[in-house]
Amino acid sequence: MECPRLLPSTHLALLIFLIPLTLAADLFFDFRCISQPGNYTPNSPYQANLNSIFSQLISPNTDFNYGFYNLSAGENPDQVYSTALCRGDRTQDVCMSCLNETIARLKQNCPMNKEAIGWHENCTVRYANRNMFGEMEYTPQSPKPSTGENASNPDQFNQALDQLLSNLSATVVTFASLQLVTYN
């Protein structure tokens, strides 16, 4: 039952990827540093565990697994949990280079935060000092309104959008079940 529990956050990430497609390249990156869990200290075990996760994420030896990663390193209270996801239509090389860049930007923008999330055009990276694997979490979010035209009939637009997204969720569930059958 591991796989279905992972779906909600995968689905959420998928939606997040669909939205920024129309924006300029330098607008693709966004991040949140979560201050509530506090900061780690330099050269602490937490930092070492985080760095170990970073190296695994950018290593070609880590199982590509369709671009989905759930990694954990260390022991309580210094245990680090991380999830990362690449766009399904990107190659492993593009995925790794996106993870590398997103990690670099998170290091720069959230230098000591125990918890942070970064969104890029081709991938997303998240880490925390708590186990968030398979949890449905609506925040943090990065909404990106398009700069284009507004829908002329918002009700009709939202109805079509609901249907598209619900069709999409059904497709994701079906695909995930197939993978479970085929590969587990």
Binding of ligand NAG by 64 (CB under 6 A): no
Q: Is 119 helix (H, G, I), strand (E, B) or coil?
A: strand
Q: Is 149 in the site for ligand NAG (CB under 6 A)?
A: yes
DSSP-based three-state secondary structure for 114: strand
User: Closest separation between CB of residue 20 and ligand NAG, Å?
Assistant: 10
> Could you give the residue ranges of the DSSP H alpha helices within 19-152?
45-57, 92-109
| Sheet of strand 80-86, all strands in order from the earlier edge strand to the far edge | 30-39, 113-119, 123-128, 80-86, 68-73
Q: Is 144 in the site for ligand NAG (CB under 6 A)?
A: no
Interface with ligand NAG (CB under 6 A), residue from 100, 109, 142, 169: 100
| Contact residue for ligand NAG among 72, 79, 141, 142 (CB under 6 A) | 72
70 binds ligand NAG (CB under 6 A): yes
When the beta carbons of 164 and 173 are compared against ligand NAG, the nearer one is 164
**Residue 102 near residue 118, CB atoms below 8 Å:** yes
At position 92, the amino acid (one-letter code) is: Q
Residue 34 or 96 having the CB closest to ligand NAG: 96
Residue 122 touches ligand NAG, criterion: CB under 6 A: yes
Span interacting with ligand NAG, options 12-20, 39-47, 96-104, 175-183, rule CB under 6 A? 96-104
The set of residues, in sequence order, having a beta carbon less than 8 Å from that of 113 and lying 6+ positions away, is 33, 34, 35, 37, 39, 40
Phi-psi domain of 74 (left: phi exceeds 0; alpha: psi -120 through 50; beta: other): left
Residues making contact with ligand NAG (CB under 6 A): 2-3, 6, 25, 28, 70-72, 90, 94, 97, 100, 104, 121-122, 133, 149-150, 160, 163-164, 167
